[in-house]
Structure 1
Amino acid sequence: MSWFSSLSIRARALIVGSTLSVALVGVGATVPVPYVALGPGVTYDTLSRVGGTPVISFSGDAPASVKQTDGTGHLNMTTVSVYDDMPLFGLLGMWMSGDYAVVPRAEVYPPDKTVDQVNQQNTKDFQDSQSAAEIAALRYLKYPNVVYVGTIAQDSPSYKVLEPQDQITAVDGAKVTDFASLQAALKNTLPGQTVEVTVLRGSRSVDAKVKLQANSSAGKQGFLGIGAVERPKAPFTISISLANIGGPSAGLMFTLGILDKLTPGGLTAGRFIAGTGTMEVDDTKGTVGEIGGILLKMIAAKNAGASVFLVPAGNCAEALTRVPQGLELVRVATLDDAVKALKTLGAGGTPPSC
């Protein structure tokens, strides 16, 4: 008879139960589960330097006001951190702290995409937010518009003739400065007609011959076959330098950072202001789009020292469910709302809240 079978039933039950408990504890402490933890992420001041490099910088013929910011305020973008490959007990510990959320892993890393693919998309979204910020800021400051070549389909008459990011300056000698002037230049053309499209490609002027096609949506006139993009242009280049950040939600704070540096005296009046929100440039209003993780970003802002947090209007209801003590929420639906709110704060007033 083995030593185990010689034990009492109670002793055997105790040993089996203890063994199972140890095994379960080992599994809970070491084996990853299909969930991730989301927590307050890093926050960067768009007016400062990171690693010695300005987050926002200018080159070319930038206005003198670029150097006239007060140097004491903050306009911080906020992020959410993702903790993957976490064991059950680690997730539970984070969740119980109250500063983290636990969600199914598939919500962050869809099963039809690899982690690298998700990260690549997040990086692209972040780069797009930088471009949107530049467009929105220059549009707000009323810099003149120009027309660029956007998308070009493979069956387009402009395919391999024009290039994305070409700036269209003329069609058959008629000056092009915006959508209206481009449409006017093409109004009396016909399908099959060849026109000379003058573009600025980098710093070089190029004359390209395009044989126009017919298109039912264009009516009787000739069709270039491009997705034309109208956006403002300044005599200087804006650079935004931040690495290892993903997603589109920094658009608003990047836009405000650019405006602060281009506005004599700045916008912060020395306050520590943080916020979030996408910047939509498909309309002229500069709509601030809602984002995910608003509560976690508010915690990150408060931990960094912010006293004011700019909240997209679409996130206000959620933001009010848990407001960090001492953090003033400001509701913004458009870029104009955000600028007016900062000016109101600077004058000692109270801007619209959630």
Structure 2
Amino acid sequence: MNRRLRTISFGAIPLLLLTGLVTFDHIPGTSVSLTVPYAAEGPGPTFNTLGEYDGKQVVDIQGTELDPTTGNLNMTTVSVRSNMTLMQAMGRWLFNKDTLVPIEQVFPQDQTEEQVTQANQEAFSTSEASATIAAMNYLHLPVSTKVAQTVDGSPAADALQEGDLITAIDGDSKATPAQVVEAVQSKKPGDEITLGVERDGQQLEEKVTLASNPHDDKTAFLGASMEAVPGGGISVDYNLEDVGGPSAGMMFSLAVIDKLSPGELTGGKFVAGTGTVDDEGTVGPIGGITHKIQAARDAGAEVFLAPADNCAEAASEAKGITILKVSTVSDAIDQLTKYNNGEDAATCS
């Protein structure tokens, strides 16, 4: 706070420039208001992925026995405020430690606020799917390939339906989405491929004659988009609303692993973190790391899991909280285990 007040004392020129960027919003029947072309980013709410939200499990797993869990594995968020007056913007910066960023960084000029929100929600859904598959892969549990959509007029449209599970390719039971794509690409247009399919609990065999790819007539084309889902009758659902973006992936994945494996990843502690995750469990960097650490610390977390690529920035918030450096889901579990056992763990400091 004192540092920011000192900054204001020497920051009259930037303040005047910011004032000069004020825009006028006139709402019929009301007085004219002044807004600045900036958004304020600050600590957002945190959610325990091992607990409940609005009466439902944040990570709801059905179809198998679950291992009891304690402690917290909190995902963290960044709050964004826009359409602020000059005084509101300066107040957020002075008294709330928010970061002021050009509004274009949050809402690009070529996109509406609704489009940005939709894109963030889609990224959130993608992160949920990747989190589940990363957890299944870590636990060596089966993964199935579900048909998400077929292209009208394609070979797949005549043989497959949305929701079908592909269980085999030419008699080979290894049928992940990548393996299906690889099998199709290994053939030529006009070749036949045999797909094992589970539909409504029935096992089917579909022989499909591949077409030419619309963009390359020398490449075989099936015409189906696929996604990996848990196998063995397990289902994983995520029950959080009004949250967007891909940065919850790692914490979701850890929650699935904690619920499906013996022991407790948290050691009964309050752990928080952030980071994207892909199907292979690689943890990627995110934005707003300092605000997320602040939110975790304010919520009572003693440990924060941070992507390795965010470590330099995260280190500036390492007061009153231990920040562990992680690069994969496996690494996050290893570092957390070391911390819980009192061993040397990799930290952002």
Residue 350 of structure 1, CA deviation: 2.9
> Structure 1 residues 32, 199: closer, same or farther in 2, change over 3 A?
same
1:245 partnered with 2:243: yes
Residue 157 of structure 1, CA deviation: 2.8
Instruction: State the distance in 1 between where 2:305 and 2:252 align.
Output: 13
Residue 194 of structure 1, CA deviation: 4.9
Q: Indicate the larger mover: 228-237 or 253-262.
A: 228-237
What are the superposed Cα offsets for residues 177-228 of structure 1, whole Å, 9 maximum, x if unpaired? 2359758977997643555533224544454452223569999996534456
Q: Identify the residue that residue 305 of structure 1 maps to in structure 2.
A: 300
Q: Identify the residue that residue 68 of structure 1 maps to in structure 2.
A: 68
1:20-99 alignment to 2 at 5 Å? 30-60=33-63, 62-63=64-65, 66-69=66-69, 71=70, 73-97=71-95, 99=97
RMSD: 3.2
1:314 partnered with 2:317: no
Q: Answer whether contact 1:150 1:228 (CA < 8 A) is retained.
A: yes
1:80-229 alignment to 2 at 5 Å? 80-97=78-95, 99-149=97-147, 152-153=150-151, 156-159=154-157, 161-163=159-161, 165-171=163-169, 174-178=171-175, 191-201=189-199, 203-214=201-212, 223-226=221-224
> Structure 1 residues 196, 302: closer, same or farther in 2, change over 3 A?
same
1:262-341 alignment to 2 at 5 Å? 262-281=260-279, 284=280, 286-320=281-315, 322-341=316-335
Tell me the amino acid that sits aligned with residue 34 of structure 1.
P
Instruction: State the distance in 2 between where 1:144 and 1:33 align.
Output: 52
What are the superposed Cα offsets for residues 237-278 of structure 1, whole Å, 9 maximum, x if unpaired? 111111110100000001111111112221101111100000
Instruction: State the distance in 2 between where 1:290 and 1:88 align.
Output: 32
Instruction: State the distance in 1 between where 2:219 and 2:243 align.
Output: 45
Instruction: State the distance in 2 between where 1:83 and 1:187 align.
Output: 47
Instruction: State the distance in 1 between where 2:172 and 2:217 align.
Output: 22
Q: Answer whether contact 1:168 1:176 (CA < 8 A) is retained.
A: no
Instruction: State the distance in 2 between where 1:99 and 1:86 align.
Output: 16
Q: Answer whether contact 2:212 2:219 (CA < 8 A) is retained.
A: yes
Q: Identify the residue that residue 8 of structure 1 maps to in structure 2.
A: none
Q: Answer whether contact 2:136 2:143 (CA < 8 A) is retained.
A: no
Q: TM-score, normalised by structure 2?
A: 0.80
Tell me the amino acid that sits aligned with residue 175 of structure 2.
D
Q: Indicate the larger mover: 205-214 or 176-185.
A: 176-185
Unpaired runs of 5+ residues, structure 1, are: 1-23
- Which one has the largest radius of gyration? 1
Unpaired runs of 5+ residues, structure 2, are: 1-21, 26-31
State the number of aligned residues: 319
> Structure 1 residues 352, 193: closer, same or farther in 2, change over 3 A?
closer
Q: Answer whether contact 1:56 1:239 (CA < 8 A) is retained.
A: yes
